[in-house]
Structure 1
Amino acid sequence: MRPTALGWIDHDSSSAPERDRAQVSILAGRLGYRIVWPDERSVLSVADQARNAEVDVVILPAPDHLGPLELNRVMDIADVETVLPRLSFARWNATAHEQ
């Protein structure tokens, strides 16, 4: 079974959401992830949607598609990858938070 990725686009940050969606999908494929997209009508945070979808990674077009607090919450649940610039953020180590 392939690992899964949540594709996330902040439509307030995106000037071309269709292009961003395509780039996120391409990166997911290159990294070996099956991509799922959130329900656009959901009022849940990105972290809650990632948790509910049980994904391994959240893929964003760019770092500005998540604020710092939400990025912190997501990293408790999943890794984060960005398309441009190409960045990888490993999820927080669960034992590090317990200390």
Structure 2
Amino acid sequence: MNHSTALGWIDYDISGSFDWDSAQVRRLARHLGYHLVWPDGRSLLRVVDQARNAAADLVILPAPDHLSPLELNAVMDVADVETVVPRLSFARWTFVKVAP
């Protein structure tokens, strides 16, 4: 079993039902074997900064539209991203060092 940390992220402006979305995020985290943490609701930090501060290996979203394309790109610098519906996986960016 994986004991890595996942950050649950729900955009309140997008969510039709916060309780349903949070239950689905919790279920996916449990299914994948991650310890789920939630961001501080009062924080003004970007999602990428909250994922970094939580040392999250994964960010779980109810759906892809809970992050803008630019936010998704930034998060993928520090963590993988999984969505519940549709079930999608986005692997974090890898950096290859090219020898001179």
Separation (CA, whole Å) in 2 of partners of 1:24 and 1:95: 32
* TM-score, length-scaled by structure 2: 0.93
Q: 2:81 is paired with a residue of what secondary structure?
A: strand
Structure with bigger gyration radius:
2
Structure 1 residue 2 and structure 2 residue 14: aligned? no
Separation (CA, whole Å) in 1 of partners of 2:17 and 2:79: 25
What are the within-5 Å matches in structure 2 for residues 27-46 of structure 1?
27-46=28-47
1:52-91 C-alpha deviation (Å, 9 max, x unpaired): 1101000000000000000000000000000000000000
Q: Residue 86 of structure 1 aligns with which residue?
A: 87
Q: 1:95 is paired with a residue of what secondary structure?
A: coil
What are the within-5 Å matches in structure 2 for residues 13-92 of structure 1?
13-92=14-93
Q: Give the counterpart letter for 2:70 in structure 1.
A: L
Which 4+ runs in 1 deviate beyond 6 A? Answer: none
8 A contact 1:76–1:94 mirrored in 2? no
Unmatched runs of 5 consecutive residues or more in structure 1? none
Q: RMSD value over aligned CA atoms?
A: 1.1
Identity %: 67
Q: Shift of residue 95 of structure 1?
A: 2.4
Separation (CA, whole Å) in 2 of partners of 1:7 and 1:13: 15
Higher helix share: 1
* TM-score, length-scaled by structure 1: 0.94
Q: Shift of residue 94 of structure 1?
A: 2.4
